[in-house]
Amino acid sequence: MNKQQSTTIRRLFKTILGFYPVMLPVTIFCIIFNAAVSSLPSIFMQNIIATLETSWQSGDWNAVSGKILNLVLILTIFYLLSLIAGFIFNQLMAIITQGTLKKMREEMFNGMQRLPIKYFDTNNHGDIMSYYTNDIDTLRQMVSQSFPQLLVSGITVFTVFCIMIYYCAWLTLVVVLGVICMTAIIKKVGGGSAKFFFRQQNALGKLEGFVEEMMNGQKVIKVFCHEEESKVDFDKLNDALFEESEKANRYANILAPILNNIGNVLYVLVAITGGVLLLAQVPNISLSGLPIGISIVVPFLNMTKQFAGNIGQVSHQINAVVMGMAGTQRIFNLMDQQPEQDNGYVTLVNAIEGPNGIQESEKRTGVWAWKHPHQADGSVTYTKLTGDVRLFDVDFSYEEGKTVLHNVSLYAKPGQKVAFVGSTGAGKTTITNLLNRFYDIADGKIRYDNININKIRKSDLRRALGVVLQDTNLFTGTVMDNIRYGKLEATDEECIAAAKLAGADDFITRLPNGYETMLTENGANLSQGQRQLLSIARAAVADPPVMILDEATSSIDTRTEAIVQRGMDALMEGRTVFVIAHRLSTVKNSDVIIVLDHGRIIERGNHEELLAQKGQYYQLYTGAFELE
Amino acid sequence: MIRQLAKSIREYKAASIATPILVAGEVVMECIIPFVIAILINEIKAGCSIDVILKYGIILVVMAALSLLFGAWAGSTCATASCGLAKNLRKDIFYSIQSYSFENIDKFMTSSLVTRMTTDVTNVQTAYMMLIRMAIRAPLMLVFAFIMAFVMGGKMAWIFLVVVPILAAGLAAVIYKVRPLFKKVFKKYDALNQSVQENIKGMRVVKSFVREDYEQKKFNHAAEDVCADFTKAERILALNNPLLQFCIYAVMVFVLSFGSYTIVTSRGMDLDVGQLSSLLTYSFMMLSSLMMLSMVFALITLAGESAKRIAEVLSEKSTLSNPENPVREVEDGSISFEHVNFKYSKNAKRMVLQDINLDIRSGETIGIIGGTGSSKSSLIQLISRLYDVTDGSIKVGGRDVREYDLESLRNQVAVVLQKNILFSGTIKENLRWGNKEATDEEMIQACKMSCADEFVSQFPDGYDTYIEQGGANVSGGQKQRLCIARALLKKPKILILDDSTSAVDTKTDAKIRKAMAEYIPSTTKIIIAQRTSSVENADRIIVMDGGKIANVGTHAELLKSSSIYREIYISQNKESKESENIE
């Protein structure tokens, strides 16, 4: 076990102890008690057999019954206690395991909600998902099975070892030699198994990637009659996977019989050694000082079996522990991710416009204001929320050294529409990412209602900025739930009004259950256009003064497009809007058009001005470039 | 279902049969060892010589060695058999998907197919491993140990007839209780993970609407629910261990007390000390094998769902097949539809295409236009027999498409699908899908025609540029142009473009159409488009509406005769009229 692993183990233990400060120690105590008691019968057996040895020839049961029944009675009491302990620890363990998993899941999820967007942009979504599935599974395996088993085995081995020494050092020596041999084999074979399991996972990952791509393109394969070629490629990966998994499983499978039979050989060796010692009348070395007799050899045989069996049990848990540790480490890594920082102190409050200027209000008034406390003199000023956004000399880079925006300055007065135009990678989406502080700018300033957005609390800034993204993301729930996502306290009427504004009401009312229709899998039962309409309605119900719109590029038919267009137009009405435009009509109707190229603003102005310039925009407009 | 899956064992049948036999050998050895030991102990007790001890010792070591040999061998064949089965299952699934028609493909979701080939196959593999190894080992062990216990202990062994059924009943009751619970909770668990997935994907939406707390509450509530159900199920399952311990303890107490009584009263005749020790060993073997059996049973039932899902894919038969004496040559690029009706599945009520009659001459350029759901794509997919007609017939080159060899037909009728895909690999590798033997010149030529060469040659690596999975590193318009080039390389007699230039700008779109008219004049070209500008110059334009042909004619004719066409034209040209003026 390396240092990192031992830190992980310690942290996991502390975490679980934190969850269950009473239950965990009780459970551990019960496990130890249970395991220790289950090693005791050997002592009773030795006593009983010793008694029998002296009296079996007499045939007089009454002479020995008292002593033997006494021993059995004590043993029964021990067993009862052990059973109670066993019952308790098994029940508690079920509770602790599931409870721990639940709390870990919650901590992961809650932590994940606080992570910056950058994390989701730079990590594969499948990888993030596997924290919740694969890693949690390995953790469950480890906590619910491996840990208790290791503890039980450890205690049993220890207790049995003590009893062994108590009775006979010679025979113990035989067992110890056997154990050393077993450990060496576990290391060798177990190590091989772990190595191939790791390779097997790799091969499986490759195959999975290939299959996913092929399944996605299955229709293309059919159209090009490419079935045979894809079969050949598949066979290669499939055979590679088979080879690794066969080796991995072979190693794992032969470990058990090897250990088991070393146990058997050990059993035989103990019997023989015992016999030889007995015959040769070798003086015993033991803590008990008892001479070697059949009453020692017989229980010793059982103890040997128990000893070897428990070591085999440990070996079964090796793979689970190795995988569990890796999974736990990954889970902790996710939890340790730096959450999104927010030092904003300017907040958004309900306000009343009175004769003395703007006053804060407890109730919802429909008027909003920025509450700006000044640290210098402790005073508080209020600024009305109007939707005035300005960028001054903004530079930005996702990665150090690769600047993607250079010196971008622009402004949008309340109610103005600003359209961004440019090719893929020109920086259109990047600008919108900066406005709601998904990413922070490297240099320059962005001001919202003349307040530096770095001073505004992020949640309030985002509440003041609505977004309709290009790819619509809907959540499992009813249509109504999805619209209400924009404003949780919105009434049904408000949601329906928003749907009407977006032009979504028409199709929603035609759905089987209208607004109560369940949506699953990102609204798989809706068309692309319908999903867009819902996301417009969702933004409409939030009713923010500033909107960021990313028009969809996918081709939808003319009729639906017209409806979506109308919805977008209605949403833009009376708001400051930044739009990443894909439709010429949207661009044309904008107050300002910003043409971006490689992170720089190369042209700006309204439609007529830009056409007159006969520059990039003119070329775009006349169809010489793709608008995306 | 089982039979369906068993077909995939094939070359691993030997290993599959060898495993239980070897396991049986191992079990026999393991069961005899305590028996011999009992004899040895009694010999020792009787004060035998070292020679006798050594003799028994050697026998025992040989037996242990045999047991090890059998065991390790079984482990090895078991690995081969189970991994082999998994390999063949994956192969059979993949191969059978390759044989699917479009209709079959539509039935399964991509993600579910991937899960079937990975997780489900792994589940079946584990269950199979259990089945041929443990499921043989456990009952054999039970029976052998039982027999041996009778041989050794005589009357004493009756205790097992009491304890074993108690344990078996207890374990069965636990499984019976717990199974429906697990089924239920796994569904909830899936839903929970689904919501996590949604959150990861939609994190921008969550953050934009400042819904972090709301999502947390939702998640925590669901996690609580899952946890409660899991705990309930696990707690029932946790009864297994104490139950087993209870049985072992009961046997121990009984054997020790009643055994001592028997030894003493019979003066070691009915039972002796050695046998007493072995009886305990057998009792342990018996009870733990029962426990193992219940575990195996649970695992196999869990794998049942997976097996069902795999069998579903394997038993799905392709709805299209090659005719007996297929025609391999397509005469020319003429197409005719005769009273064609079509629906996607037998059970569908509505026909997607109704009574389509159409004659297309070889070399003609045909435009197809119409709203979403007007069945434009359905119409053209019938030509290369991606689906079969429900009624009527389609002739290509004068022969019914069902008479052709599928591969020959599809090589001559190239379709550029609407939802098109590039595969990870270089541009050249992607282009070679169209023609394996295509030379560099041919590829460049095709790319020039589809206006792809102009950007490909700008890439630093040119035609060797690596395309990421799904074509993620090229723009939508570039992807479409490469897909057209790929189809052109087939040198087909009929080329069908299903909305294949939607992301290409109008100028390039026009250039592509011009190039095709110039370089491949004899190829029949069918162009589906949203923009009227894409079909304006076609010889004839077909206007589709609700699964029927509404009008056929040239651009000028349709502007006069077709209200649908006119409407589309006017709505699109409101915005582009100005640009035309500027030009």
**Chain A residues 497-556 with CB within 8 Å of chain B:** 521-522, 527, 538, 542, 553, 555-556
- CA diameter of chain A: 124
Two structure tokens written together for A541: 């119900």
Question: What integer is the mean pLDDT of B111-140?
Answer: 86
pLDDT recorded at residue B357 = 93
Nearest to B79 among A44, A246, A463 (CB): A246
Whether chain B has a CB inside 8 Å of the CB on A171: the answer is no
Q: Does A627 score more than 80 pLDDT?
A: no
Judging contacts by C-beta atoms under 8 Å, the chain A residues touching residue B95 are: 231
User: What's the sign of the alpha-carbon dihedral A452, A456, A462, A466?
Assistant: negative
Q: How far is B223 from chain A (nearest CA, A)?
A: 6
Q: How far is A575 from chain B (nearest CA, A)?
A: 17
**Higher pLDDT, residue A252 or B15:** B15
Nearest to A238 among B90, B253, B372 (CB): B90
**Nearest residue of chain B to residue A529 (CA atoms):** B372
Contact between residue B537 and residue B555 where contact means Cβ atoms under 8 Å apart: yes
The runs of H, that is alpha helices, within B50-101 are: 50-98
Question: What integer is the mean pLDDT of B252-262?
Answer: 85
Smallest CA-to-CA distance from B171 within B294, B352, B47, B66 is with B294
Residue B325 resides in a domain? no
**Nearest residue of chain B to residue A299 (CA atoms):** B277
For residue A159, which amino acid is it? Answer: T
Q: What are phi and psi of B377, to 5 degrees?
A: -65, -40
Q: How far is B110 from chain A (nearest CA, A)?
A: 6
pLDDT recorded at residue B241 = 85
Q: Do A95 and B434 touch (CB under 8 A)?
A: no
Which of residues B249, B284, B315 is at a domain's end?
B315
Two structure tokens written together for B497: 């473009």
Nearest to A238 among B91, B220, B415 (CB): B91
Q: Does B577 score more than 50 pLDDT?
A: no
Q: Does B360 score more than 90 pLDDT?
A: yes
**Higher pLDDT, residue A564 or A431:** A431
CA angle B422, B426, B429 (to 5 degrees): 75
Q: Residue A18: which residues within 8 A CB-CB, separation 6 or more?
A: none
Nearest to A294 among B41, B209, B420 (CB): B41
Task: Say what angle helices A294-336 and B13-45 make with each other, to 10 degrees.
Answer: 140
Question: What integer is the mean pLDDT of A333-348?
Answer: 88
Strand boundaries in A218-367, DSSP class E = 347-354, 357-360
> What residues does B365 pair with on adjacent strands?
B525
Whether residue B161 sits in one domain with residue B12: yes
Q: How far is A219 from chain B (nearest CA, A)?
A: 7
How far, in Å, CA of B389 to CA of B410, rounded?
16
Whether chain B has a CB inside 8 Å of the CB on A188: the answer is no
Q: Do B241 and A86 touch (CB under 8 A)?
A: yes
Percent of chain B predicted with pLDDT > 70: 98
Whether residue B438 sits in one domain with residue B298: no
- The confidence band for B579, taking pLDDT boundaries of 50, 70 and 90, is very low
Whether residue B169 sits in one domain with residue B56: yes
Q: Do B503 and A48 touch (CB under 8 A)?
A: no
Nearest to B223 among A97, A106, A555 (CB): A106
Which of residues B264, B280, B315 is at a domain's end?
B315
Nearest to B75 among A209, A223, A253 (CB): A253
Whether chain B has a CB inside 8 Å of the CB on A183: the answer is no
The residue among B48, B99, B504, B505 with the most chain A CBs within 10 A of its CB, best to mutate, is B505
pLDDT recorded at residue A553 = 55
How far, in Å, CA of B303 to CA of B125, rounded?
9
Whether residue B143 sits in one domain with residue B22: yes
Q: Does A533 score more than 50 pLDDT?
A: yes
Contact between residue A422 and residue A468 where contact means Cβ atoms under 8 Å apart: no
How far, in Å, CA of A215 to CA of A262, rounded?
49
pLDDT recorded at residue A616 = 79
Query: Position of tokens 């306000």?
Result: A351
**How many A/B residue pairs have CB atoms within 8 Å?**
434
Q: How far is B286 from chain A (nearest CA, A)?
A: 15
How far, in Å, CA of A79 to CA of A34, rounded?
9
Per domain, the residue ranges of chain A are 1-162, 347-384, 415-442+452-621
**Chain B residues 204-243 with CB within 8 Å of chain A:** 204-216, 219-220, 223-224, 226-227, 230-231, 234-235, 237-239, 241-242
Whether chain B has a CB inside 8 Å of the CB on A68: the answer is yes
Whether chain B has a CB inside 8 Å of the CB on A434: the answer is no
User: What's the sign of the alpha-carbon dihedral B132, B133, B137, B139?
Assistant: negative
**Nearest residue of chain B to residue A251 (CA atoms):** B76
Contacts for B105-110: CB closer than 8 Å, 24+ residues apart: B105/A218, B105/A219, B105/A222, B106/B344, B107/B316, B108/B313, B110/A212, B110/A215, B110/A216, B110/A218
ipTM: 0.84
How far, in Å, CA of A154 to CA of A307, rounded?
10
Q: Using one digit for the tens of pLDDT, what is the confidence trace for A467-501?
A: 888 778 888 889 999 999 888 888 999 999 989 88
Q: What are phi and psi of B558, to 5 degrees?
A: -70, -35
What is the CATH code for A1-162?
1.20.1560.10
Q: Do A212 and B238 touch (CB under 8 A)?
A: no
Residue B330 resides in a domain? no
Smallest CA-to-CA distance from A134 within B74, B49, B118 is with B118
Contacts for B264-271: CB closer than 8 Å, 24+ residues apart: B264/A52, B264/A55, B264/A56, B264/A58, B264/A59, B264/A60, B264/A61, B264/A64, B265/A59, B265/A61, B266/A59, B267/A56, B267/A57, B267/A58, B267/A59, B268/A56, B268/A57, B270/B154, B270/B155, B271/B153, B271/B154, B271/B156
Q: Does A92 score more than 90 pLDDT?
A: yes
Range of the domain at B395: 335-575
User: What's the sign of the alpha-carbon dihedral A10, A16, A21, A25?
Assistant: negative
Q: Does A597 score more than 70 pLDDT?
A: yes
Q: Does A561 score more than 80 pLDDT?
A: no
Q: Does A558 score more than 80 pLDDT?
A: no
pLDDT recorded at residue B468 = 81
Percent of chain A predicted with pLDDT > 90: 16
Question: Which of A156-165, A233-242, A304-313, A430-439 is predicted most confidently?
Answer: A233-242
The residue among A475, A518, A608 with the most chain B CBs within 10 A of its CB, best to mutate, is A475
Estimate to the nearest angstrom the gap between the alpha carbon of B524 and the chain centroid: 38
Show the 3-state SS of B425-475.
EEHHHHHCCCCCCCCHHHHHHHHHHCCCHHHHCCCCCHHHCEECHHHCCCC
Q: What is the CATH number of the domain that holds B547?
A: 3.40.50.300
Q: Do A249 and B83 touch (CB under 8 A)?
A: yes
Q: How far is A377 from chain B (nearest CA, A)?
A: 31
Superfamily designation of domain A415-442+452-621:
P-loop containing nucleotide triphosphate hydrolases (3.40.50.300)
Q: Using one digit for the tens of pLDDT, what is the confidence trace for B190-241?
A: 888 888 888 888 888 888 888 888 888 989 999 999 999 989 988 998 898 8
Contact between residue B519 and residue B352 where contact means Cβ atoms under 8 Å apart: no
The residue among B29, B264, B299 with the most chain A CBs within 10 A of its CB, best to mutate, is B264
Q: Using one digit for the tens of pLDDT, what is the confidence trace for A413-422?
A: 888 889 888 7
Q: Do A462 and B45 touch (CB under 8 A)?
A: no
Q: Does A624 score more than 70 pLDDT?
A: no
CA angle A463, A464, A466 (to 5 degrees): 80
Nearest to A56 among B100, B263, B434 (CB): B263
Whether chain B has a CB inside 8 Å of the CB on A145: the answer is no
Q: Do A294 and B44 touch (CB under 8 A)?
A: yes
Q: Using one digit for the tens of pLDDT, what is the confidence trace for B382-427?
A: 999 999 999 999 999 999 999 999 889 998 999 998 878 888 889 9
- Domains identified in chain B, total number: 2
Whether residue B306 sits in one domain with residue B370: no
pLDDT recorded at residue B441 = 93
Q: Does A555 score more than 70 pLDDT?
A: no
How far, in Å, CA of A610 to CA of A617, rounded?
6
Q: Do A94 and B234 touch (CB under 8 A)?
A: yes
Same topology, domains A1-162 and A415-442+452-621? Answer is no
**Higher pLDDT, residue B100 or A588:** B100
> What residues does A547 pair with on adjacent strands?
A466, A577
**Chain A residues 86-125 with CB within 8 Å of chain B:** 86-87, 90-91, 93-95, 97-99, 101-102, 105-106, 109-110, 112-114, 117, 120, 125
Q: Does B581 score more than 50 pLDDT?
A: no
Question: What integer is the mean pLDDT of B46-59?
Answer: 83
Two structure tokens written together for A169: 């050092």
Gyration radius of chain A over CA positions: 37
Quickly list DSSP for A33-101.
HHHHHHTTHHHHHHHHHHHHHHHTTT--HHHHHHHHHHHHHHHHHHHHHHHHHHHHHHHHHHHHHHHHH
Mean pLDDT in chain B? 86
Contact between residue B286 and residue B149 where contact means Cβ atoms under 8 Å apart: yes
> What residues does A421 pair with on adjacent strands?
A595
Residue B582 resides in a domain? no
Smallest CA-to-CA distance from B562 within B553, B573, B572 is with B553
Nearest to B200 among A52, A128, A267 (CB): A128
Question: What integer is the mean pLDDT of B87-110?
Answer: 89
Question: What integer is the mean pLDDT of B82-89?
Answer: 95
Q: Does B18 score more than 80 pLDDT?
A: yes
Two structure tokens written together for A190: 């177990």
Contact between residue B292 and residue B167 where contact means Cβ atoms under 8 Å apart: no
Residue B519 resides in a domain? yes
pLDDT recorded at residue B443 = 94
Smallest CA-to-CA distance from B520 within B446, B460, B573 is with B446
Whether chain A has a CB inside 8 Å of the CB on B417: the answer is yes
Q: Residue A74: which residues within 8 A CB-CB, separation 6 or more?
A: A44
pLDDT recorded at residue A554 = 54
Q: Do B74 and A91 touch (CB under 8 A)?
A: no
Two structure tokens written together for A138: 């390995």
Percent of chain B predicted with pLDDT > 90: 35
CA distances to A206, A209, B57, B308 from A202, in Å? 6, 11, 47, 27
Whether chain A has a CB inside 8 Å of the CB on B158: the answer is no
Residue B424 resides in a domain? yes
Q: Do B199 and A113 touch (CB under 8 A)?
A: yes
Q: Do A553 and B223 touch (CB under 8 A)?
A: no
Smallest CA-to-CA distance from A317 within A327, A328, A306, A325 is with A325
pLDDT recorded at residue B4 = 86
Residue B326 resides in a domain? no
Smallest CA-to-CA distance from A304 within A337, A260, A368, A361 is with A260
Two structure tokens written together for B207: 């953050």
Q: How far is A410 from chain B (nearest CA, A)?
A: 22
Whether chain B has a CB inside 8 Å of the CB on A279: the answer is yes
Q: Using one digit for the tens of pLDDT, what is the confidence trace for B474-513?
A: 877 888 999 999 999 999 999 999 888 877 777 788 889 9
Residue B581 resides in a domain? no
Q: How far is A391 from chain B (nearest CA, A)?
A: 20
Smallest CA-to-CA distance from B304 within B128, B80, B81, B82 is with B128
Contact between residue A370 and residue A362 where contact means Cβ atoms under 8 Å apart: no
Residue B321 resides in a domain? no
Q: What is the CATH number of the domain that holds B90?
A: 1.20.1560.10
Whether chain B has a CB inside 8 Å of the CB on A165: the answer is no
How far, in Å, CA of A400 to CA of A385, rounded?
34
pLDDT recorded at residue B578 = 42
**Chain A residues 392-411 with CB within 8 Å of chain B:** none
Q: Does A211 score more than 70 pLDDT?
A: yes
Residue A332: Cβ within 10 Å count: 18
Judging contacts by C-beta atoms under 8 Å, the chain A residues touching residue B76 are: 250, 253-254
Which of residues B315, B343, B367 is at a domain's end?
B315
Residue B73 falls in which region: left (phi positive, over 0), alpha (psi -120 to 50) or beta: alpha
Q: Which of A23-27, A177-181, B346-350, B527-531 has the lowest mean pLDDT?
A: B346-350
How far, in Å, CA of B555 to CA of B534, rounded?
11
Question: What integer is the mean pLDDT of A594-608?
Answer: 85
pLDDT recorded at residue A556 = 59
